[in-house]
Chain A
Amino acid sequence: MSHHIVEVRDLRHVYPDGTEALRGVSFRITHGEAVAIIGANGAGKSTLLLHLNGYLTPSQGAIRIGDFPLTPATLPEIRRTVGMVFQDPDDQLFMPTVFDDVAFGPLNLGLDGDEVEAQVRMALARVGAGHLRDKPPYRLSGGEKKRVGIATVLAMSPDILVMDEPTSGLDPFARRQLMALLKDFHHTRIFTSHDLDMVLELCERTIVLHEGEVMADGPTLDIFRDEALLAACRLEKPFAMQGCPVCGGKPSPPEPHG
């Protein structure tokens, strides 16, 4: 069970041009948690994410994924354990067909033909995209691309799912579909998002980043009730928690998480 733990300790990252993107970030995420990392643009969210699968190395501090510290030797295993889905699916789907994309990960893991087939089938079924198997990516809709993007990562059977802006660019229906899908996962989930309503619905815990530091880390509802904090971090309450634009009435408190 310990391989689902993500532990970040005093992480600092300075870019080559001198920008200090992260200034001592620490947190601990345990098995099965759904955590959102929110903050203004430039707060350091993407930088933080890129550390989680070893693409960036910390200038200072340590990262631990499950049993493994992040070192060059443990990278392959870390990248299997941490499945990362990026914001622009066109960056993620780089093979000629959906099947090829989803099979890319398992093939890199060294699985043989039959195993790869099984993994691909499982992953596509999981996201409800089995019928898209032989389609080229350019013929998928935005929502389909996002789902297939998730499948490409699921095919490697990760324990931790990290997603950068999962609902961005989706129409309302596709967004609903995706949220339903994500709610159903049992992995440890880490999302960055500007879609605070999605955060409200999907994540019981939220970490707020501001200028490279953790400003808050706690239950989502508590954080969204702290108006001063939100304002200081260039955020606001999710729409579901704001007053009705028509009658000005107060919204009923959202359902507790469960």
Chain B
Amino acid sequence: MASIVGAIADLRQLDLMANGNTGLHRLDARAKVLATLAFILAVVSVNKYELAALFPFFLYPAVIMALGDLPVRHIAKKVAVVLPFALMVGIFNPIFDQTVLVRLGALAISGGWLSFASILVRATLTVGAALILVAVTGFPAICQALDQLGLPRIFTVQLLFLYRYLFVLGEEGSRMARARELRAFGGKGLGLRSYGAMISHLLLRTWLRAERIHLAMLARGFSGKFHPRRTTRFGGRDFLFLAGWSGLFLFFRLVNVSRLLGTIVTGAPR
């Protein structure tokens, strides 16, 4: 995993993006969550050797990023960070799957390479979709949407607490890491014993903090039950968004638009 400090900084950035005020931002979070889900399902269900069939799906992130006024380069960089893992496992495909499936003139492309490329494209699409979802919705809104869609209250509350204290503890963690660095005189990491000690102290402080938070909750009348803030309304626009995109994904899934387009343009027989 990439540096957590950097990742938390990224998180703040994504959060900032979520505060935008485009029409897209104002859509109900449930519509966006469900649309993303439909997108991911459609993309992932594509046959492992299909490559061109995946390309139309790029329309969704492109449009959303445009409508939501999101910084493309920034998101692209974040997506790129993830690819190495997909690369690592996918790279075996060309080795183990040598059956030639496609011939482009003199060039013979094996199934292994096709599926490898397909894996990469799929990773890009799915990871991109998740990031974009957060960037136009914001994490708290996503949690509320999940709560309204039926996820257990305890879990959504857990997500919100986690998110809230991620920054606080991230700060404590980086302070510890810095303090240790200053006493390590160039050595990278001090071995297990000091690590164990540091983590233990952090843990105890964290535990005490939890007790204080609980105290603050009790002081404001908490008696075990969390109440939802306010229910948002799912309107016509939201429905259109969800239905429209889902329908489009289904279409892309059932019809290989790339091949269709290509056939029309080049006049080749079907």
Binding site for B on A (CB under 8 A): 50, 53, 55, 76, 79-80, 83-84, 86, 88, 90-92, 94-97, 99-100, 103-105, 107-109, 113, 134, 136-138, 152-153, 156
8 Å CB contact of A76 from B161, B209, B215, B223: B223
> Are A53 and B219 in touch, CB under 8 angstroms?
yes
Question: Is B221 a contact partner of A96 (Cβ separation < 8 A)?
Answer: no
Complex CA gap A55/B218 in Å reads 8
Taking a contact as CB atoms closer than 8 A, the residue among B139, B140, B218, B227 that contacts A79 in the complex is B218
Among B139, B209, B220, B227, the residue within 8 A (CB) of A156 is B220
> Which residues in B have their C-beta under 8 angstroms from that of A107?
227, 229
Q: What 18 additional pairs, Cβ within 8 angstroms, besides A86-B216, A90-B209, A108-B222?
A: A53-B218, A53-B219, A55-B215, A76-B221, A86-B215, A88-B212, A91-B209, A91-B215, A91-B216, A96-B160, A97-B140, A99-B229, A100-B229, A104-B222, A105-B221, A107-B227, A109-B221, A134-B19
Chain A residues lying within 8 Å of B143, measured Cβ to Cβ, are 96
A90–B161 Cα gap in the complex (Å)?
Answer: 12
Give 26 pairs: A residue, B residue, CB < 8 Å, sorted on A. A53-B219, A79-B221, A80-B221, A86-B212, A86-B216, A90-B168, A91-B209, A92-B216, A94-B165, A96-B160, A96-B163, A96-B164, A99-B229, A100-B140, A103-B229, A104-B220, A105-B220, A108-B222, A108-B227, A136-B15, A136-B140, A136-B164, A137-B164, A138-B167, A153-B220, A156-B220
- Which residues of B from 237 to 255 have beta carbons under 8 Å from A? none
Contact between chains at B160 and A79 (CB < 8 Å): no
Given the interface contacts A113-B230, A137-B164, does A96 sit within 8 Å of B139 by beta carbon?
A: yes
Q: Select which of A79, A91, A105, A138 is within 8 A of B213 by beta carbon.
A: A91
B52 at the interface (CB under 8 A from A): no
Name the CB-closest residue of B to A155: B220
Q: Is the CB of B163 within 8 A of A94?
A: no
Residue from the list B15, B19, B161, B227 in contact with A94, Cβ < 8 A: B161
Q: With a 10 A CB-CB cut-off, give which of A53, A91, A104 has the most chain B CB atoms.
A: A91
Interface residues of B in 151-193 (CB under 8 A from A): 160-161, 163-165, 167-168
A91 to B219: give the CA distance in the assembly, Å: 12
Q: Are A55 and B140 in contact (CB under 8 A)?
A: no
Complex CA gap A134/B20 in Å reads 12
Nearest chain A CB to B56 CB, angstrom units: 36
Count B interface residues, CB 8 Å: 28
B217 within 8 A of A: yes
Residues of chain A within 8 A of B215, CB atoms compared: 50, 55, 86, 91
Contact of A95 among B139, B160, B219 (CB under 8 A): B160
Flag if B216 contacts A95 (CB, 8 Å): no
Instruction: Give A137 Cβ to nearest chain B Cβ, in Å.
Output: 7
Query: Nearest Cβ in chain B — how far from A76, in angstroms?
Result: 6
- 7 closest Cβ contacts across the A-B interface? A108-B221, A96-B140, A105-B220, A138-B167, A107-B227, A91-B212, A84-B219
Q: How far is the CB of A229 from chain B (nearest CB, A)?
A: 32
Q: Which of B122-155 contact A (CB under 8 A)?
A: 139-140, 143
CB within 8 Å for A108 and B223 given contacts A79-B218, A97-B140, A136-B15: yes
- For window 97-116 of B, CB contacts with A under 8 Å fall at none
User: Shortest CB–CB separation between residue B252 and chain A, in angstroms?
Assistant: 35
CA distance A138 to B166 in the complex (A): 10
Least CB distance, A65 to chain B, in whole angstroms:
13
Measured CB to CB, the closest approach of chain A to B153, in angstroms, equals 13
A94 and B213 in contact (CB under 8 A), knowing A79-B218, A100-B229, A138-B168?
Answer: yes
